[in-house]
Amino acid sequence: MARKAIFITGGGSGIGRAVARHFAGQGWFVGIADVNAQGVDETAALLPDGASSRHIMDVRDRDQWKAALDDFARASGGRLDVLFNNAGIGSGGQFIDMAPAEADRLIAINFGGVVNGVYMALPLLKATPGSTILNTGSASGFYGVAGLAVYSATKFAVRGLTEALEIEFAKHDIKVRSLMPGFIDTPLLDQVSADSNEPARNRLSASGFEIVPVERVAEAAWSAVHGTQVHTTVGKMAKRLARLARWFPGLIAKQSKKVDGLGAVSAH
């Protein structure tokens, strides 16, 4: 039997790269997909020889999805044990200042890309017993985040899709899971926002926010695929936000008003 296989969008950096390394380390075959060809090559170079395939694609384009998955299936022996819908962008700022075109791009990549992935990967997933769809959500999918309104909305959508498809796809022997991380230690946190000369990493640390190493997200992805929970939170902040959103949503609203502006940094 062919070794287990995972197809990762956004595999050229950050969470995608860390998950690729983790699963390859467990003997899995990894399909690395990204719009950034250099990033794909850099991730592949970190994996064992013969453990990966490379796919340059835009998750907004279903024709590119089909071509990539066809190539992946030939390389994986027809298996797709895990589809990891991870590609995403993290544009933020006040809603009133965001150009409609940028909002469209956020929605198309962060949510539309996930929907496209599910549609296009279903034949392979159904043909692989016990397969899993793993979607990268965010702690901002538990409660709307000021300064990240559209981004947050896309992660709510990913969360809702995950929960619905977990029920619908049970009859096809396909599990559907999500990762819900807080702020992750990626180069995104080194960016300087428009209203500050200080990197987001410094502002978050000064405000007491936890920054989670990307390796912990990879470990959480492994646990999510092999566990029973629909949503896997990553980091203390995400766990706390999940509890507060369920039991004390009003408290989150009060706290959010105090840190409005920090929301311009996404967790993904």
Contact 268, 181 (CB under 8 A): yes
DSSP state of 1: -
Q: With beta carbons less than 8 A apart as the criterion, state whether 48 and 28 touch.
A: no
Find tokens 């993904």 and name the residue: 268
Contact 50, 28 (CB under 8 A): no
Active site residue 151: yes
Rounded to an integer, what distance in angstroms lies between the CA atom of residue 23 and that of residue 92? 31
Helix (H) / strand (E) containing 230? none
Q: Give 231's strand partners.
A: 178
Catalytic residue, chosen from 84, 142, 151, 209, is 151
- 74 exposed, middle or buried (CB, 10 Å; 0-12, 13-18, 19+)? exposed
To the nearest 10 degrees (0 to 180), the angle between helices 100-107 and 149-168 is: 20
Alpha helices in the chain (DSSP H): 14-25, 37-45, 62-76, 100-107, 113-127, 149-168, 200-206, 214-226, 236-247, 249-258
CB atoms within 10 A of CB 100: 8
With residue 178 as reference, give the H or E element that holds it: strand 174-181
Q: Which two tokens mark 158?
A: 């990913």
The candidate with the shortest Cα–Cα distance to 67, out of 6, 116, 130, is 116
The residues assigned a catalytic role are 151
